[in-house]
């Protein structure tokens, strides 16, 4: 959470983070500024959606729970409202393959889930659909979700998604961005696996 603030991906009390733990998961609490969080602030939850903690979990715990429960390869989820990802989410825009680094998300697009009120089962359902075959998505009129096999790589993907959205926004001001074909992105996804993107995200080619 502190890294989200330091990297400019979040502000105030916005954003939330979870990680798989034991038979359930840990999630950040609701309404506590990142600077005030301690280890004791983090809320352990069950996949049944219950908790026993002095603090309430993030209001977005449902999609954290459902992503971790439905995608066993995912062990961490980052949700934030960074400027460029959120700007495209406000427009309900899917991000196309304007740069090969979109392959880090697992496919030729970053989908934008339709709008649903925050914290609802409906939002969770729509987010899961947008995440099919992907490691990240946008949430219409809301923000973004990035996932990973651990917290470091989920945060890394959040940074990559925001960078890609920033590049796309600037390119749209310059002219008409050229979209890479799906088969090129599919090859890049495979090359990233060979280059160790999944095992060591920080060494991914730029």
DSSP code of residue 140? T
Identify whether 60 is a catalytic site residue: yes
Q: Is 175 exposed, middle or buried (0-12, 13-18, 19+ CB in 10 A)?
A: exposed
What is the Cα–Cα distance from 111 to 134, expressed in whole angstroms?
9
With beta carbons less than 8 A apart as the criterion, state whether 102 and 179 touch. no
Choose the catalytic residue: 60, 132, 160, 202.
60
What is the Cα–Cα distance from 107 to 188, expressed in whole angstroms?
9
Tokens 């954290």 appear where?
64
Residues marked as catalytic? 60
């Amino acid at each position: 959470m502190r890294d989200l603030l330091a990297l400019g991906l979040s502000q105030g009390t916005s954003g939330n983070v979870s990680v798989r733990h034991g038979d359930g998961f840990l999630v950040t609490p609701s309404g506590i500024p990142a600077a005030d969080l301690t280890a004791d602030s983090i809320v352990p939850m069950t996949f049944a959606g219950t908790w026993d903690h002095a603090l309430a979990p993030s209001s977005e715990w449902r999609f954290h729970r459902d992503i971790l429960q439905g995608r066993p390869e995912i062990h961490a989820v980052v949700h934030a409202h960074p400027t460029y990802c959120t700007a495209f989410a406000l427009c309900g825009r899917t991000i196309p393959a304007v740069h090969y680094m979109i392959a880090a998300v697992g496919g030729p697009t970053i989908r934008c889930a339709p709008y649903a009120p925050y914290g609802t089962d409906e939002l969770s359902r729509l987010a899961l659909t947008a995440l099919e075959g992907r490691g990240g998505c946008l949430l219409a009129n809301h923000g973004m979700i990035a996932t990973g096999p651990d917290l470091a790589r989920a945060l890394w993907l959040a940074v990559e998604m925001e960078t890609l959205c920033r590049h796309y926004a600037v390119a749209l001001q310059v002219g008409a961005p050229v979209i890479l074909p799906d088969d090129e992105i599919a090859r890049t996804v495979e090359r990233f696996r060979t280059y160790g993107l999944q095992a060591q995200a920080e060494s991914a080619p730029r």
